[in-house]
Amino acid sequence: MNLIIKKDIHLENPETRSFLADAYYIDTKEKQPLIIFVHGYKGYKDWGAWSLMAEKWAKAGFFFVKFNFSHNGTTVDEPHNFADLEAFGKNNYSKELSDLGVVIDHFTKDSHVDDQRIVLIGHSRGGGLSIIKAYEDERINGLITLASVDTLDRFPKGEAFENWKEKGVYYALNGRTKQQMPHYYQFYEDYEHNIHRFDVERAAEMAKVHMLIIHGTEDEAVDAKQAEHLHILHPNSELFLVENANHTFGGREPWTETTLPQDLNTVTEKSIDFILDKMK
């Protein structure tokens, strides 16, 4: 079994800017389902144990892709660091959905990929975006959410919102890097302008996909009730709660061990079994 790993593939998006993706797959003549991992807020493709998760998916017979959003704060030269906070501040949901579309278009053309079997895996905010994309793009027939939000309306409220509107920027502390990460007011304006498109609840109800909703019961960032809400909204979904698991299912940055965290391993095995069952 020859595992192929292609790192830092350059993708071009004329609507945003260039960004990087990784592909993991077994070198075989048989076409493989395409799995695309969508990272969340303050995330990136090489964070924590995501690479080990990618290898596990590939060894199970899938063509696994992970990527950096063009405006997640990393650059093509520094994909592991938030080296461009100006780009981070100019990020918005429209840009992220555009980038995800580029990723889908690019990898469905790969000769190893079965373009009739496409699955999105979204973590945290990436889960909400994946739900919207699964509704919008009929090519997608499988969806797995990991600690997903059930709304993209996660902006400051009250006085904090008024201050943001007045000053044009607010800053969020990155607890790991200690960077003050900017959010320009255009982020909210983009959301408000596309509020119906960015309705995660409606997309969850309408998406015609097999859906697996995974959440940790001790998630410190997104309450598990949001997973239960998504499960109610989508009639063709399965809810899988991981007892005592946190928001990243035991992962952290950096992850120096050679094996997956126990909870993330459980999540990955459950996800693989779900897709194998649904895409026989």
Q: Report angle CA 115, 116, 122 to the nearest 5 degrees.
A: 80
Contact 122, 130 (CB under 8 A): yes
pLDDT of amino acid 211: 98
pLDDT of amino acid 160: 98
Per-residue pLDDT tens for 9-25? 999 999 999 999 999 99
pLDDT of amino acid 204: 98
Asked if the model's pLDDT at residue 68 lies above 90, the reply is yes
Asked if the model's pLDDT at residue 279 lies above 90, the reply is no
Backbone angles phi, psi at 190, to 5 degrees: -65, -40
Phi-psi region of 109 (alpha: psi -120 to 50; beta: other; left: phi over 0): alpha
pLDDT of amino acid 85: 98
Give the burial string for 189-225 (b: 16+ CB within 10 Å, else e).
Answer: ebbeebeebbbbbebbeebebbbbbbbbeebeebebe
Contact 118, 34 (CB under 8 A): yes
pLDDT of amino acid 107: 98
Residue 214 is inside which H or E element, if any?
Answer: strand 210-216
Alpha carbon distance 36, 62 (integer Å) = 10
Per-residue pLDDT tens for 28-46? 999 999 999 999 999 999 9
Calculate mean pLDDT across residues 220-241: 97
Asked if the model's pLDDT at residue 280 lies above 90, the reply is no
Sign of CA dihedral 272, 273, 274, 278: positive
pLDDT of amino acid 180: 98
The length of the chain is: 280
pLDDT of amino acid 235: 85
Alpha carbon distance 143, 36 (integer Å) = 10
Calculate mean pLDDT across residues 199-215: 98
Calculate mean pLDDT across residues 253-274: 98
Q: What percent of the chain has pLDDT over 90?
A: 98
pLDDT of amino acid 246: 98
pLDDT of amino acid 255: 98
Q: What percent of the chain has pLDDT over 70?
A: 100
Domains, the chain, in order of start with CATH, read: 3-153+198-278 (3.40.50.1820)
Backbone angles phi, psi at 228, to 5 degrees: -65, -35
Taking the alpha carbons at both ends of the chain, their separation in whole angstroms is 21
pLDDT of amino acid 19: 98
pLDDT of amino acid 73: 98
pLDDT of amino acid 257: 98
pLDDT of amino acid 231: 98
Backbone angles phi, psi at 97, to 5 degrees: -65, -35
pLDDT of amino acid 37: 99
Alpha carbon distance 95, 8 (integer Å) = 20
The Cα-based distances of 12 to 40, 42, 89, 91 in angstroms read 21, 21, 20, 16
Asked if the model's pLDDT at residue 236 lies above 90, the reply is no
Alpha carbon distance 22, 52 (integer Å) = 12
Nearest to 52 by CA among 233, 217, 254: 254
Q: In sequence order, which residues have a C-beta less than 8 Å from that of residue 181 and are 6 or more positions away?
A: 42, 73, 82, 85, 88, 89, 171, 172, 173, 174
The DSSP bridge pattern shows strands 19-26 and 63-67 to be antiparallel
Pair of tokens at residue 160: 């904090």
Per-residue pLDDT tens for 134-149? 999 999 999 999 999 9
Collapsing DSSP to helix, strand or coil, 109 comes out as coil
